[in-house]
Copies of this chain bind each other. A is one copy, B any other.
Amino acid sequence: MSDYVTLLKESGLKATFQRLHILEVIDKYGHITIEAIYEEVRKVHPSLSVATIYKNIIIMVENSVLVEVPIVGNKSKYELAKRDHMHLICTECGEVEDRPCSAGTDEIFAFLTQQEHFKLTKQQINLYGICSHCQEAAAS
């Protein structure tokens, strides 16, 4: 799994134990808050400081290793950078799941971009609702 080393170096960042550990935790959970990363990471590496997490999240977002997913009514979560996708965000349990962008949205956006003279750099499509799991739980 540790080709995070390559990823970091290609981004001009040193591959420290702390960064690799943070990346592994994010990968494991898919989408995770800073606070949760901190709690998870310090199980293995108790001396790792919050300041280090903040500094690293910021620099890894700047270098497009990570992506911030801001969430209505909650703290932002972070995910590994990957090709465009949508988020299904459950407002009950807070889980975030990725889904491919439906065919067609690309064209719509491309059109909008040209018509608007808006230089698109990033899109975030976030669908909020109740996941099937929480719906089942509510039905009992």
Contact = CB atoms under 8 A, between A and B. Distances in A.
A28 interface: no
Interface residues of A, number: 37
B130 A119 contact: yes
Interface stretch (A1-9, A48-56, A99-107): A99-107
Contacts of A68: 72-73
Q: How many copies does the complex hold?
A: 2
Contacts of A47: none
A63 interface: no
Contact of A123 (B116, B120, B126): B126
Given A70-B76, A72-B68, A127-B112, A117 B132 contact: yes
A129 B121 contact: yes
Given A68-B73, A119-B129, A125-B126, 4 more contacts: A70-B72, A70-B76, A105-B108, A121-B130
